Amino acid sequence: MAVVAAGGVFLLVKLAQGGGEEPTVAAPPTVTTSVRPTTAVPTPTKKTTTTAPPKPVQINPATYNATHRLYKTGAMRTVNCKQAKTGPGNGAQASAYFKAIKACLDHAWPRQVAAAGGRFRSPGLVVWGGSVNTPCGSGPGRAFYCPTTHTIYMESPSVIAFYKQNPTFGRMVGSFTVAHEYGHSVQWMTGLGEAYEKLRYDATTDGQLLLSRRLELQASCLGNVFLGSNRGSYGITGYAYQMWLYDVNNSGDRPPYPRDHGSTTSHGAWSRAAFAARNPASCNTWSASPARVS
């Protein structure tokens, strides 16, 4: 049986300005960024998986996610992650760039996952363009995490295009996207993802969208906990900070996409809070009011 599961991020960006060189002005480029809701949902009947089985969910999954130990694991310690010197200017460079930050994430998350009662396993990373063959679909045009294979599938052409138009913005989009998808892998390593699947199975259509927004906003939140804890060493300061801020403040659902990732307002709020707090305690989207995950 095909198992379909993808937390997808699709970034559609148009730059009205920007050349191949680092901009010398601090003003953000004119950018339209949308995180496209493309979360195909795992079939609840799945019996087998190649990933480590998440911690069994033995209580109400809504309560489980809203009271998870992950929120009590404390601030994330910096791993002094260094951003790759060479940016994602072509396919090979993009692969190296994504692998570099993924290696940092592999150092940052084990303590937090273990403290949350999960079992850490480094997720895989596949960098692709065009389409990719996975149990979660071919994901044209978007990055996604597939729980079935416990692998992050990073789509590189869009990041390369951003980089060529605005190198700093391209770096921040690529870094944030890997961190976001890694956040999904943390959700599935800690049982949050399994609980989401259970909740979704019984939900109405609107309820499913709400659950998807909680899942996606949490993934971005977790990603930004990591970026915030490494902001100094990674160089998310000055103009790079402005480009990071622009990205997170302008990522979110836009018409006519379904409302499954959260509004740009919601996305920015969770992202900024996480970056400042550097603590998964700031990422409890499951107990948040619907207004905060709109």
Rank residues 181 and 228 by Cβ distance to Zn ion and give the closer one.
Answer: 181
Min. distance of Cβ 181 from Zn ion in angstroms?
6
Q: List the one residue from 3, 5, 7, 178 that touches Zn ion (CB under 5 A).
A: 7
Query: What is the rounded distance in angstroms from the CA atom of residue 178 to the CA atom of residue 109?
Result: 13
Site string for Zn ion, 212-231 (x = CB under 5 A): ----x--x------------
Min. distance of Cβ 219 from Zn ion in angstroms?
5
Min. distance of Cβ 11 from Zn ion in angstroms?
11
Point out the residue whose Cβ comes nearest to Zn ion.
Answer: 7
Which residues, at least 6 apart from 204, have a Cβ–Cβ distance to it below 8 Å?
Answer: none
Min. distance of Cβ 15 from Zn ion in angstroms?
23
Q: Which stretch binds Zn ion (CB under 5 A): 52-60, 78-86, 210-218, 251-259?
A: 210-218
Min. distance of Cβ 58 from Zn ion in angstroms?
26
Rank residues 76 and 219 by Cβ distance to Zn ion and give the closer one.
Answer: 219
What is the CB-side half-sphere exposure of residue 92 using CA atoms within 13 A?
0
Would you tell me which residues interact with Zn ion (CB under 5 A)? 7, 216, 219
